[in-house]
Structure 1
Amino acid sequence: MSEVTEEEKAAAARRQPGPRGGPPGAGLGMPTESAANFGASARRLIGLLRPQRAVILLATGFAVVGVVLTAIGPRVLGRATDLVFAGVVGQRLPAGTTKEQAVEGLRQSGHGQMADMVSGIPDLVPGQGMDMDAIARVLLIAVALYAGAGLLSFVQNRLVVVAVNRVIMDLRRAVEDKLHVLPLPYLDSQPRGELLSRVTNDIDNLAQSVQQTLGQMLTNIVMVVAMLAMMFSISPLLAVIVLVTIPVSIWLTKVIGTRSQRHFKEQWATTGQVNSIVEETFSGHELVKVFGRQEEVGATFEERNQALQRATFGAQFVSGVIMPVMMFVGNITYVVVAVVGGLRVADGALTLGSVTAFIQYSRQFTMPITQLASMANLVQSGVASAERVFEVLDAPEQRPDPQVPAVPDRSDGRVEFEDVSFSYSPHAPLIENLDLHVEPGQTVAIVGPTGAGKTTLVNLVLRFYELDGGRITLDGVDITQMSRAGLRSRVGMVLQDTWLFGGTIGENIAYGRPGAGRKDVRAAAEATFVDRFVHSLPDGYDTVLTDGASNISAGEKQLITIARAFLSDPDLLILDEATSSVDTRTEKLVQDAMRALRGQRTSFVIAHRLSTIRDADVILVMESGRIVEQGSHDYLLERDGAYARLFRAQFVAPMDDESDPLDPRALAASE
């Protein structure tokens, strides 16, 4: 049978893209992800807005009314221009004549073009200046129109913000729920910084992109339609000239957007890599300094940071070209419209007010197109982030719990392994055909060389990993027929690696049992000798643990985790090197407390120091995923087998022996 040690598994994991738990900087510098599937991701992103369609439709209605009011504004201002122009021209014509007589007089005097222009001016009265009352009324109407449009735009933007924030809140909730159902192998395969980047930076970028583009997109699309309608109502010829710019603008946007899409995907992928470096380096900064790897870590960071700089520059530069290109196209259109419009005014086909209104419409027509084009960088960036979030949401989930979970009739703590097989890789079996029967109340110690499968054995009991074959029962019930929450609520676990959250010492202990009171917390603390050092702290149980609980020692952290497990009052205890971080005297006290706690509970104790498990009811000796010996401490010493060799290696081996006493090869050589 082939053997895969934990070191080999770790080494294999480090060779995979995005490992978790490797040394600082491990797993970085991997190739950039492939280009985003923009169309599918964009459609899925739009689908997220469906629950808020009522709010979005209401916002669209306000946008339509607001744009209509805005569209009427230039026509009203054009009317004011015509009144002003009629007054300026009219006062230069002889009073007492009609408009027709004035036009005929201009023609007879050889000013035919001037006559054509005067004939096209409405409300012109020869000899009469500007009608200030009429101009004031028109301007008041324009002010009312623009004020109403501004108010509607404010309401529309507020509705869009409400809708987007609800969507992002639902998305965050979906990601949070997803993280709880992801299998442990998936989390083990992802760098922490990369996963954190997806659920924080990418969602924040997505929220910003959608919020900035959705409202403008609604307004701009309606604006394009409204401005186009108004332009055709004034002059179909000028409107056609403006329409020629649309396919040009679309073609330019597509060409530039295609180039920027790849850069935005690379930008956010590289951002996750940089975050991973920072997270891993700072979480293991002591090791980095101890081994003098600052320069190597700095070089790795610099490499990825420069890659991020290049990707960001490429994304922003390429997408930023859209705005000046569209402005250039708009300016060319403006020049053509001004020239042709001026000629039409000179011919009397259009009034000056109509041309000025058309120029405003053409500017307002090209402006939303330019804004839509300039939003391409935000859209590309947002869709790239959305795709990275969707990859988390689409990750395969752990096997669902049974619809009607089984519940053991009793809580004795009897555990049975029946022909259990498991491997991390299909090509490298670890545990094969394992049978084990643990009676209620027994303390089972598991010993063996590194990579023998000790921790894997207890992880299988908790269903952190699924079996390849066989089954495990708890009190006669197959654990796969129980809900994971129901199974794990019966198990208390203390690991070698402590985990404490930001909060008080009392809150960290109470984490073991929801609803636990201060009296229960103190009782658990006294049983595990946490109470002994808590009283030396200024705030006692209300002492707030800093980031990483750096304001208490490693041994004190371990004691708190043990107290937390004690408070949970489980049917089954799992202690994985639980006393490895405490001093010898504290270890003795904790062992006494554990012995009292284990009196009525089944316990699995993983230990490298054999002195800690002398009083175990059963000692299991594992090698290569198999139990090669089992029995009491005295019985196994009398057999003079694998356990006896381990015992002699720890307590009898010469002090100057440079070999690793737990190395299976050294043990085999000593036989």
Structure 2
Amino acid sequence: MRRRTVQTDVTMTTKQRLGIYGKLFWEARPIWHWLALSCVLCLIIIACAVLSPKLMGQVTGAIYDYWVTRSSGGQTDPLVPAVLPTLLILLASYGVSSGVRYANMSLMNHVVSHHYTCAIRIRMSEKIRRLPVKFVDSTPVGQILENMTGDVSAMGNSIHQIIETLIQGLLQMLLIAVAMLAEDWRLGLIVLATAPLSLLCSVKISGASRPYHRASFREIAQLYSVVEESYTNFSTIKAYNLEQAMAEKHNHTNQRQRRAQQRANLLSALIQPSVTLLNALTYVVLNLAGGWLAVQGALSIESVVTV
């Protein structure tokens, strides 16, 4: 049986990536009203994300003023009644944010994933009916099945996260940047200057893991082919005593897929710790700069905590 040559890994250009994003949104036209609802939910989440640090800064500022006044021997009002209403609003903000975030995640998971996976499988099935027999003869056994099941399922598990990130990430980055600059432009610039480092780090690491992910998917397709070939040609394999050869072929393919998946997972797992480290360093720099400005009297404790 003829086998189609496996394509080598090709690095996508920026234009190709933008084209993929554009096609994703173009394919989402039938569910535009659900995406609009998701945008509204994202705005509520972002509003809570902007409001919560402001409330926390007010509570921290009130505690700091209370401590300074008591240390200097002055008279102050009771602390708990003064901060309790703000704490209750802060608690409600966290609760609303968590509830809306869960609702948005469920919406994107069910609506977006179902739309893309169902629509793609239907279109693939319709296209297969129009393809010539030559395509089936030149395609490894099981590859079509793997494309319709494994590949589409893998995309369906992550497509809602991509859409949610594109919608919520852009809105959140814009609105929170405006809020930080409005609170204090110096600390806001520190955060905005270090944010591209996290993005660059994640892009570089994901780019390094991309070839291994593609190799893993290719080996999964080959594994499907081996299993399908063993199943459909069971009588032939038994007749020619090829059970051991097919078992070794399956084992070698499985080992190649396992190694590629391990390397891909290892590199992908480095993204979150690296971004967390950069965010922690940004937090340290932000506190040092904010503390110095507060000591100089150029900035209040409330603004430092808010940013």
Normalised by the length of structure 1, the TM-score is 0.43
Does residue 136 (structure 1) correspond to residue 84 (structure 2)? The answer is yes
Which residue pairs with 2:177 in the alignment? 228
Match of 2:45 in 1: 66
Distance 1:78 1:130, change over 3 A: farther
Question: Which residue of structure 1 lines up, in the alignment, with residue 285 of structure 2?
Answer: 336
- Are 2:13 and 1:17 aligned? no
2:10 matched residue in structure 1: 35
Residue of structure 1 in register with 2:103 after alignment: 155
Would the aligned equivalents of 1:83 and 1:130 in 2 still touch at CA under 8 Å? no
Which runs of 4 or more aligned residues in structure 1 lie more than 4 Å from their structure 2 counterparts after TM superposition? none
Q: What secondary structure, in the 3-state scheme, does the structure 1 residue paired with 2:171 have?
A: helix
Task: Give the Å deviation of 1:274.
Answer: 0.6
Asked if the contact 2:141/2:226 (under 8 Å) is kept, the reply is no
CA RMSD in angstroms comes to 2.2
Q: Structure 1 residue 80 and structure 2 residue 28: aligned?
A: no
Paired residue for 1:306?
255
Counterpart of 2:223?
Answer: 274
Distance 2:201 2:45 in 1: 29
Question: 2:123 is aligned with what amino acid?
Answer: A
Equivalent-residue separation in structure 2 for 1:86 and 1:73 (angstroms): 20
Q: Which amino acid letter does the alignment assign opposite residue 152 of structure 1?
A: V
Judge conservation of contact 2:112–2:159 (CA < 8 Å) in 1.
no
Distance 1:185 1:148 in 2: 57
Instruction: Quote the sequence identity (%).
Output: 21
2:198–2:279 Cα contact (<8 Å) kept: no
Deviates more, 1:71-80 or 1:317-326: 317-326
Aligned to 2:36: 57
How far the C-alpha of 1:238 sits from its partner, in A, is 1.4
Q: CA deviation at 1:129?
A: 4.7
Deviations 1:326-379 (A, max 9, x none): 122111111111111111222222222322222xxxxxxxxxxxxxxxxxxxxx
Query: Which amino acid in the other structure matches residue 172 of structure 1?
Result: R
- 8 Å Cα contact 1:52/1:167 also seen in 2: no
Shift of 1:154: 3.2
Q: CA deviation at 1:300?
A: 1.7
Report the residue type matching 1:154 in the other structure.
Y
List gaps (5 residues or longer) in structure 2: none
Deviation for aligned residue 1:33: 4.3
1:267 and 1:308 in contact (8 A); partners too: yes
Deviation at 1:249, TM superposition (A): 2.6
Give the match for residue 245 of structure 2: 296
Unaligned runs of 5+ in 1: 1-13, 19-29, 95-125, 359-671
Amino acid at match of 1:85: Y
SS of corresponding position for 1:241: helix
| 1:236-275 matched pairs, under 5 angstroms | 236-275=185-224
| Equivalent position of 1:174 in the other structure | 123
CA distance in 2, matches of 1:285, 1:301: 14
Partner of 1:164: 113
CA contact (8 A) 2:113 2:160 kept: yes
Matched to 1:144, the amino acid is A
Shift of 1:41: 4.2
Partner of 1:319: 268
Three-state SS of the structure 1 residue aligned to 2:71 is coil
State the SS of the aligned residue for 1:349. coil
Cα offsets for 1:277-298 (capped at 9, x unmatched): 0111133334323322223212
Kept in 2, the 8 Å contact 1:88–1:130? The answer is no
The CA distance in 2 between the partners of 1:199 and 1:33, in whole Å, is: 21
Aligned pairs, how many? 302
Distance 1:130 1:89, change over 3 A: farther
Letter in 2 for 1:332: L
- Which amino acid letter does the alignment assign opposite residue 3 of structure 2? P
Letter in 1 for 2:70: Q
CA contact (8 A) 1:92 1:127 kept: no
For the 8 Å contact 1:270–1:304, the answer to whether it is kept is yes
Q: Please say if 1:48 is aligned against 2:27.
A: yes
Residue of structure 2 equivalent to 1:594: none
More strand, by proportion:
1
Q: Residues of 2 paired with 1:77 and 1:279: CA distance?
A: 59
Q: Deviations over 1:536-567 (max 9, x none)?
A: xxxxxxxxxxxxxxxxxxxxxxxxxxxxxxxx
Q: Is the 8 A contact 1:78 1:357 kept in 2?
A: yes
How far apart, in 1, do the equivalents of 2:141 and 2:243 lie? 20
Structure 2 distance, partners of 1:243, 1:167, is: 35
Q: Please tell me whether the aligned partners of residues 164 and 210 of structure 1 are also in contact (alpha carbons under 8 angstroms).
A: yes
CA 1:130–1:85: 2 relative to 1, 3 Å: farther
Higher relative contact order (CA 8 A, sep 6+): 2
Structure 1 pair 237/41, CA: closer, same or farther in 2 (3 Å)? closer
Q: Judge conservation of contact 2:113–2:157 (CA < 8 Å) in 1.
A: no
CA contact (8 A) 1:82 1:353 kept: yes
Offset at residue 145 of structure 1 (A): 2.1
SS in structure 1 of the partner of residue 142 of structure 2: helix
CA distance in 2, matches of 1:36, 1:238: 37
Letter aligned with residue 163 of structure 1: V
Offset at 1:135? 0.8
Give the Cα–Cα distance (whole angstroms) in 1 for the partners of residues 69 and 33 of structure 2.
54
TM-score scaled by length of structure 2 = 0.89
1:33–1:269 contact (8 Å) kept in structure 2: no
Q: Which amino acid aligns with 2:229?
A: E
Distance 1:86 1:277 in 2: 72
